[in-house]
Amino acid sequence: MKRTIIDAEQLELEEKVVSIKRVTKVVKGGRNMRFTALVVVGDGNGHVGAGLGKATEIPEAIRKGKEDAMKKLITVKLDENNSITHDISGKHTGASVLLKKAPEGTGIIAGGPARSVCELAGIKNIRTKSLGSNNKQNVVLATIDALAQLKSPEEVAKLRGLSVEEVVG
């Protein structure tokens, strides 16, 4: 999977906290409480990323998660009606996500974690199905994996040595 480096400072990024978990480590002196925040950032115009932050306080965990997500931004290929260019599935550990192209007026038909990724990527029409694990972190990362694999018709035409009209049909 090829990732292009995007300058996050130039984009107007929105953030959405997908989950906050309290994690505990038992040590000799008692229990250490920490928080883990899963944060998705995107500009609503084809750029999206997800990150994980861990800290002793919730706001600090969210800030770290946002910084991590900004480092992992990907570019999403969208078609003329703000949907994805073709159907695709993504996988991360036990979670699989199926993303299906949808016509204008469909809206975002997706579960919680996949919906936040699609909204922040700027996708307006899509159907998704989460298969396998429903762990929020894995579903978000599987959705980002699928979006990173998308190719535009121009890229496919170039790879096959055909014209765009021949590829699209």
Q: What is the CATH number of the domain that holds 94?
A: 3.30.230.10
Q: Return the pLDDT at 54.
A: 96
Q: How confident is the model at residue 169 (pLDDT cuts 50, 70, 90)?
A: confident
Clarify whether residues 160 and 108 are in a common domain.
yes
Clarify whether residues 50 and 84 are in a common domain.
no
Q: How confident is the model at residue 5 (pLDDT cuts 50, 70, 90)?
A: low
Show Cβ contacts of residue 157 under 8 Å, excluding neighbours closer than 6 positions.
163, 164, 166, 167
Q: Return the pLDDT at 9.
A: 67
Clarify whether residues 22 and 103 are in a common domain.
no
Mean pLDDT of 9-38: 92
Clarify whether residues 92 and 159 are in a common domain.
yes
Q: Return the pLDDT at 112.
A: 87
Q: Return the pLDDT at 12.
A: 86
Which stretches does DSSP call E strand in the chain?
14-27, 30-42, 47-55, 74-75, 88-92, 95-101, 108-109, 126-132
- In tens, the pLDDT along 101-118 reads 999 999 999 998 999 999
**Is 144 within a domain?**
yes
- The C-alpha atoms of residue 28 and residue 89 are separated, in whole angstroms, by 45
- The C-alpha atoms of residue 24 and residue 78 are separated, in whole angstroms, by 41
- The C-alpha atoms of residue 22 and residue 115 are separated, in whole angstroms, by 23
- In tens, the pLDDT along 136-166 reads 999 999 999 999 999 998 998 999 999 888 8
Strand-pair partners of 90: 97
Q: Identify whether the C-beta of residue 167 lies closer than 8 Å to the C-beta of residue 160.
A: yes
pTM for the predicted model, two decimal places: 0.91
The total number of structural domains that make up the chain: 2
Mean pLDDT of 17-23: 96
Q: Identify whether the C-beta of residue 73 lies closer than 8 Å to the C-beta of residue 8.
A: yes
Mean pLDDT of 74-97: 93
Domain extent at residue 20: 8-74
Q: How confident is the model at residue 34 (pLDDT cuts 50, 70, 90)?
A: very high
- Say if residue 3's pLDDT is above 60: no
Q: How confident is the model at residue 30 (pLDDT cuts 50, 70, 90)?
A: very high
Domain boundary among the residues 59, 74, 89 is at 74
